[in-house]
Amino acid sequence: MTETGSLLLTFFIVCGLGVFTGGLPGNEKHAACVSIIGSVASLALLTASGIVLLSGRAFSMALWALPLFGKMMLGMDRMSALFLFITGMVFLPVSIFSAGYLKRYTGRYSLKSFAVFYFLLFASIALTLMAMDVLSFVIGWEAMSLLGYLLVNYEHEQADTTRSGMVMLLMSEAGTLAVILAFVILARTTGDMGFASLRAGAVHLGAVAGWFVFLLSFFGFGVKAGLVPVNSWLPMAHPVAPGNVSAILSGVILNLGIYGIVRINADILPIAGTGQGLVVLLIGTLSALVGILYATPEDDMKKMLAHSSIENMGIVTAGLGAGFVFLTSGHPVPAGLAFIAALYHMTNHSLYKALLFLGAGSVDMQVGSRHMQGLGGLIRRMPWTALFFLVGALSIAALPPFNGFVSEWLTLQTLLQCAVLPSKAVKITFALCGAGLALTAALAVTCFVKAFAMNFLGKERSEKAAKAAEAAPSMTISMGILAVACFLFGILPTYVIPAMDRVVQPYVHVSAVDQLVPPFFTVGRGNDKFDRTFVADFHKLGAQVGSRVLPGRGLVIMHRGGKRNPVIFAMSPAYTVAVLLLLLGGTFLIIRLLTRRRSLTHGPAWSGGLGRLPPEMTYSATGFSNPVRVIFRGIFRPVTVRDARETVANHFRSAIRKDQLEIHMIDRLFGKPIVHYGRRLAERLGRMHSGRVNAYAAYVLAALLAVLLIQGLA
Amino acid sequence: MLKWVRKGLRAGIKTTGYPHTRESAPGISPGRPAAMLCDGPQEAGAVAGRCPTGALSNQGNMIRVDHRRCVHCGRCRQDHEHAMAWEGGYEWAGGRKAPGEMAAAFSRSLHIRILDAGACGACLSEIKQISSPYYNIHRLGFFITPTPRTADVLLVAGPLTDPMRLPLERCYAAMPDPKRVVAVGACAVSGGIFGPSFAAAAGISQCVPVDIEIPGCPPPPLALLHALLMVAGKTKQT
């Protein structure tokens, strides 16, 4: 057995140990157990997947041969390894975080069941990602869905938790059914259920069957990824889930949806037509827009983060869609770039969203409220949490020098590559999607300026916020780990992109990395892979000097074009951060020099001359996001449920109260009709219930005849 | 919209040229009483006694006018036999500091914070006029600002009612140095007909140091402009 194999075995054994200790009696030590055992398991998984990711030695292991389903296979290629690596990267800090966070449940809920579910979920996620045949995949997937539901439903004593959990379970099962159906269609051409033989057999699948597989799998997996129009469960599940579970839900489980889409639509049955790629691109863009539109005015912090997860998954999907379109139109290099951008964004999203959810979780735990309306001023009470939340907010708002910037910039640049595509209509679609994503990025800035400012700056808007204390060290340390990761992924993308490139190489069949991160610091003058004058130009700039200092490729991301247009786009986040620091330091020095002679007096903030500034009078979260609400009123379509006016005389109003209700656009457009027609259908069918016994016998006979007829015809 | 443009072009420039050209009409202000010599001390006493705010006083048969207290009620000119003569004009502002002291920091532009310290509304309505197209303070480099943080001049109207004492203090404290305080109208200067009383002080100088006083009830917009020009050191006299 290879070292990857033994590491994975260690991982599963440690998970089993976690389940075992979780089952032990007593309730005191479980938080520490989850933390320590979870960290060890994550480290094992990180090392195992890291080895595969770097060395490229794919790992595979046959489990058992079952009579009807063929062999059960576990394996890890680079794609799986990337997803497993991200899983480990999220689970490690979340496990550490749990040590402090789970204390809030001591005595109220059973920590025992939490520990058991947690480790089973971890193992089932790893199983899903390592499954190389349909049966193990479905087992892992189903276990993951159910355990996810159980963990989301952890605070089961609250009524809305149960309802949200049911919606989550329902949608996730519907998605699973669609996915299984897609696998069934795929498996028609082969007897075996292994992914390898499905891939071999998929060549014989017709165009119509291909569309069916695509639609079923895309929307089936889309449920997990939270894509429009199957996203309704996400904003419901997040606010009720415990903080650490939310981090896993957004940082890991959503990725599994993307994994499924990539696995089927890029690997097993590569997308054949531009149409399918465009569907992916459009759905992605739409998800991004809808997600951020609903995130911006949201008051509940976790709900806001959930909507923003929809947005980010939309950006990832849009990148994948662009990749599919490039690939089917015969442009593998931009396709590679698009896939790299998408996977990079997904990695980043896992990091910063886990960070933000952990931050929201600590605020929720320390203050007891997630509603921004009642928070504020927490930077003075919880400085570390505030700092790390700020890093997360900057990352997700795609501001340099953090990681969100790099991947969103790459995604947008890739969409701009549509100039190479032949069809005008496709070009226009790309341009529109690019504009949509740009709008998304702008709204994301608004959304997270609000999130940080309303939680941590200004005055405390409630008693509870004024009395909050900093979170436990285990919680701040875990957030710190993620914040550092966000920073590193933001300034050193040139080391991440080659790894991503090797992941997508099997699907696009070329390496995009030489086009994207040219090895200036290592390439000699005589390398025939590069244009001679091109290399010479960079040597003139002193590129070769850096080879002694830097171990790897350069620090510049640069997409190269043809002779006429040698550089299409270029950026260096590493140099950006250096310049940013220089500018900041320089500005600071200049200001110090200029104001050296000035005296400084400190006075109270001007509050319009009031004796006391009540927190209700400061800028509120609702006020900050109200322009967005007003501008996009046509989309939000609030329904006024109560409009009451108290008047003393005819023209003298003493009080106005207006209650408005917003139904999510997707629920309004898709959910409502489905529920409506579903009910009508159920009513019709319900009439059959109260019939006579003879009628029932007739139904049975008719059904039997129908089955026989179909069988006979086939 | 075209209609507006056409109308504007037809109307031409209506803005006053003050202080570069002489302005003769001081708005709707009736002017103010001028010092007067009476026939005898008794007559003078009778005339001075008609004043409700004690602005008039007599030394022998000479009636003096303390313009800081005058509210332009007109009682002193109602009696036809001994009516006091009133004078026109509007350059009424007077400084408590020497003009040289005023000019240094404010010669370029002024940012003005307006504070209502319990005014009846008359002064405020005149203050509102100075940013209207006719008087247009912006041409002189004067701007009204909503926050004391960026203000150079604090323009206060009203006798300073008790609830407004703290806000006035805070507003003054919130202004960066160097700063000037201008008291607008008889109330802010001396308490007017309201102060000193159980609810109001005798002018804002009881709370913050006043640099320039503009008497009048209310002072016309040109008097306000004159005072602001004084702050900026752009007036010819005094």
Residue B24 falls within a domain, yes or no?
no
CB contacts of B147 in chain A (<8 Å) are 606
- Higher pLDDT: A611 or A625? It is A625
- Whether residues B122 and B208 fall in one domain: yes
For chain B, the C-alpha Rg in angstroms (whole number) is: 19
Distance (Å, whole) CA A217 – CA A301: 31
CB contacts of A606 in chain B (<8 Å) are 147-149, 170-171, 174
Asked if pLDDT for residue A714 goes beyond 80, the answer is no
Quick one: B21 exposed, middle or buried, by C-beta within 10 A (0-12, 13-18, 19+)? Answer: exposed
Mention every residue, 6+ apart, whose C-beta is less than 8 A from residue B133: B14, B15
Segment holding A674, helix H or strand E:
helix A672-686
Segment holding A22, helix H or strand E:
helix A3-23
Total count of residues recorded for chain B: 238
Give A614's pLDDT tier (boundaries 50, 70, 90).
confident
Distance (Å, whole) CA B215 – CA B195: 15
State the DSSP string of chain B.
-HHHHHHHHHH------TTTS-----TT---EE--EE-SSHHHHHHHHHT-SSS-EEEETTEEEE-TTT-----GGGTSSTTPPPEE------EESS-HHHHHGGGSS-EEEEEEESS--SHHHHHHHHTTSTTT-GGGGTEEE-S-GGG-SEEEEES--BGGGHHHHHHHHHHSPSS-EEEEEHHHHHH-TTT-SSSSB-SSGGGTS--SEEE-SSSPPHHHHHHHHHHHTT--S--
Residue type at position B229: L
Q: Parallel, antiparallel, or unpaired for β B180-184 and B153-157?
A: parallel
Give how far the C-alpha of residue A341 lies from the chain's centroid of Cα atoms, to the nearest Å. 14
Q: Which of A603, A606, A611 sits opposite B166 (nearest CB)?
A: A611
Give A228's pLDDT tier (boundaries 50, 70, 90).
confident
Residue B72 falls within a domain, yes or no?
yes
Residue B22 falls within a domain, yes or no?
no
pLDDT score of A708: 93
Residue type at position A454: M
pLDDT score of B125: 93
Query: What number is the average pLDDT over the span A372-389?
Result: 91
Using alpha carbons, select from A418, A449, A421, A423 the residue that is nearest to residue A435.
A418
Q: Mark residue B141 as left, alpha or beta (left: phi above 0; alpha: psi -120 to 50; beta: remaining).
A: left
- One-letter-per-residue 3-state SS of A171-204: HHHHHHHHHHHHHHHHHCCCCCCEHHHHHHHHHH
User: Between the CA of residue A439 and those of A7, A306, A311, A338, what are the distances in Å?
Assistant: 44, 19, 11, 19
Asked if pLDDT for residue A26 goes beyond 90, the answer is no
Segment holding A62, helix H or strand E:
strand A59-66
Query: What number is the average pLDDT over the span A678-685?
Result: 91
pLDDT digits (tens, 9 = 90+) for A258-284: 999 999 998 888 888 889 999 999 999
Name the residue of chain A whose CA is nearest to B176's CA.
Answer: A601
Name the residue of chain A whose CA is nearest to B167's CA.
Answer: A609
- Lowest average pLDDT, out of A77-86, A366-375, A380-389, goes to A366-375
Query: Do A661 and A638 form a contact (C-beta atoms < 8 A)?
Result: yes
Mention every residue, 6+ apart, whose C-beta is less than 8 A from residue A320: A258, A261, A262, A265, A266, A280, A284, A338, A339, A342
pLDDT digits (tens, 9 = 90+) for A551-595: 666 677 777 776 677 777 888 888 889 899 999 999 999 999 998
Q: Complex ipTM, two decimals?
A: 0.70
Whether B148 and A606 lie within 8 Å, measured CB to CB: yes
Q: Tokens 């040698």, residue?
A: A566
Whether A609 and B149 lie within 8 Å, measured CB to CB: no
- Whether residues B105 and B51 fall in one domain: no
Give the structural domain span for B203: 94-231
Query: Do A359 and A388 form a contact (C-beta atoms < 8 A)?
Result: yes
- Whether residues B114 and B190 fall in one domain: yes
Q: Tokens 């550092």, residue?
A: A484
Give A510's pLDDT tier (boundaries 50, 70, 90).
confident
User: Between the CA of residue B118 and those of A89, A632, B54, B121, B157, what are the distances in Å?
Assistant: 64, 43, 21, 9, 7
- One-letter-per-residue 3-state SS of A341-395: HHHHHHHHHHHHHHHHHHHHHHHHHHHCCCEHHHCCCHHHHCHHHHHHHHHHHHH
CA geometry: angle at A28 spanning A24 and A29, to 5°? 65
Is the CA virtual torsion A198, A203, A204, A208 positive or negative?
Answer: positive
- pLDDT averaged over every residue in chain A: 87
Residue B6 falls within a domain, yes or no?
no
pLDDT digits (tens, 9 = 90+) for A686-701: 887 777 888 889 989 9
pLDDT score of B113: 95
CB contacts of A603 in chain B (<8 Å) are 173-174
- Whether residues B70 and B163 fall in one domain: no
- Lowest average pLDDT, out of A155-164, A311-320, A562-571, goes to A562-571
The alpha-carbon gap from A613 to the nearest alpha carbon of chain B, in Å, equals 13
The alpha-carbon gap from A609 to the nearest alpha carbon of chain B, in Å, equals 4
Give A404's pLDDT tier (boundaries 50, 70, 90).
very high
Asked which of B71, B87, B103 is the last residue of a domain, the reply is: B87
- Whether residues B108 and B185 fall in one domain: yes
A135 phi/psi in degrees, rounded to 5: -65, -50
- Whether residues B40 and B120 fall in one domain: no
The alpha-carbon gap from B179 to the nearest alpha carbon of chain A, in Å, equals 15
User: Between the CA of residue A589 and those of A368, A575, A586, A592, A598, what are the distances in Å?
Assistant: 42, 21, 5, 5, 15
Distance (Å, whole) CA B168 – CA B207: 8
Whether A609 and B147 lie within 8 Å, measured CB to CB: no
Whether B174 and A606 lie within 8 Å, measured CB to CB: yes
Residue percentage of chain A with pLDDT more than 90: 46
CATH of the domain at B152: 3.40.50.12280
Whether A604 and B170 lie within 8 Å, measured CB to CB: yes
Query: What number is the average pLDDT over the span A63-79?
Result: 80
Query: Do A354 and A413 form a contact (C-beta atoms < 8 A)?
Result: no
- Whether residues B227 and B142 fall in one domain: yes
Q: Is A599 on the interface with B (CB under 8 A)?
A: no
The alpha-carbon gap from B167 to the nearest alpha carbon of chain A, in Å, equals 4
Whether B148 and A603 lie within 8 Å, measured CB to CB: no
Asked if pLDDT for residue A524 goes beyond 70, the answer is no
Asked which of B59, B87, B115 is the last residue of a domain, the reply is: B87
- Which residue in B114, B170, B172 has the most chain A C-beta atoms within 10 A of its own C-beta, making it the best mutation to test that interface? B170
- Whether residues B227 and B128 fall in one domain: yes
Distance (Å, whole) CA A418 – CA A426: 8
Query: Do A96 and A477 form a contact (C-beta atoms < 8 A)?
Result: yes
Token pair of A219 as six digits: 């929307």
Whether A603 and B174 lie within 8 Å, measured CB to CB: yes
Asked if pLDDT for residue A520 goes beyond 70, the answer is no
Whether A603 and B173 lie within 8 Å, measured CB to CB: yes
Best mean pLDDT range from A90-94, A110-114, A163-167: A90-94
Using alpha carbons, select from A528, A457, B16 the residue that is nearest to residue A514.
A528
Distance (Å, whole) CA A537 – CA A520: 10
CATH of the domain at B61: 3.30.70
CB contacts of A611 in chain B (<8 Å) are 166
Residue B9 falls within a domain, yes or no?
no
Is the CA virtual torsion A354, A359, A362, A365 positive or negative?
Answer: negative
Distance (Å, whole) CA A254 – CA A175: 13
CB contacts of A599 in chain B (<8 Å) are none
pLDDT digits (tens, 9 = 90+) for B154-177: 999 999 999 999 999 999 999 988
pLDDT score of A319: 95
Residue B14 falls within a domain, yes or no?
no
Q: Is A206 on the interface with B (CB under 8 A)?
A: no
Whether B148 and A611 lie within 8 Å, measured CB to CB: no
Query: Do B65 and B35 form a contact (C-beta atoms < 8 A)?
Result: yes
CA geometry: angle at A298 spanning A643 and A287, to 5°? 115
Whether A606 and B166 lie within 8 Å, measured CB to CB: no
Distance (Å, whole) CA A429 – CA A285: 11
pLDDT score of B26: 67
Asked if pLDDT for residue A192 goes beyond 80, the answer is no
Whether A606 and B170 lie within 8 Å, measured CB to CB: yes
Token pair of A117 as six digits: 């579910």
Distance (Å, whole) CA A412 – CA A541: 28
> Residue A402 has what DSSP assignment?
S
Residue B218 falls within a domain, yes or no?
yes
The alpha-carbon gap from A286 to the nearest alpha carbon of chain B, in Å, equals 40
pLDDT score of A221: 94
Residue type at position A282: L
Whether B167 and A604 lie within 8 Å, measured CB to CB: no
- Whether residues B98 and B216 fall in one domain: yes
pLDDT digits (tens, 9 = 90+) for A429-465: 999 999 999 999 999 999 999 999 999 998 888 888 8
Whether A606 and B149 lie within 8 Å, measured CB to CB: yes
Asked if pLDDT for residue B238 goes beyond 50, the answer is no
Q: Tokens 């770039």, residue?
A: A337
Residue type at position A711: Q
CB contacts of B149 in chain A (<8 Å) are 606
- Whether residues B52 and B129 fall in one domain: no
Residue A524 CB neighbours (<10 A):
11
Domain count, chain B: 2
Give how far the C-alpha of residue A10 lies from the chain's centroid of Cα atoms, to the nearest Å. 28
Q: Is A600 on the interface with B (CB under 8 A)?
A: no
- Whether residues B193 and B220 fall in one domain: yes
Using alpha carbons, select from B112, B91, B130, B114 the residue that is nearest to residue B188.
B114
Residue B8 falls within a domain, yes or no?
no
Asked if pLDDT for residue A1 goes beyond 60, the answer is no
- Whether residues B128 and B207 fall in one domain: yes
Using alpha carbons, select from A611, A595, A605, A672 the residue that is nearest to residue A637.
A672
Q: Is A191 on the interface with B (CB under 8 A)?
A: no
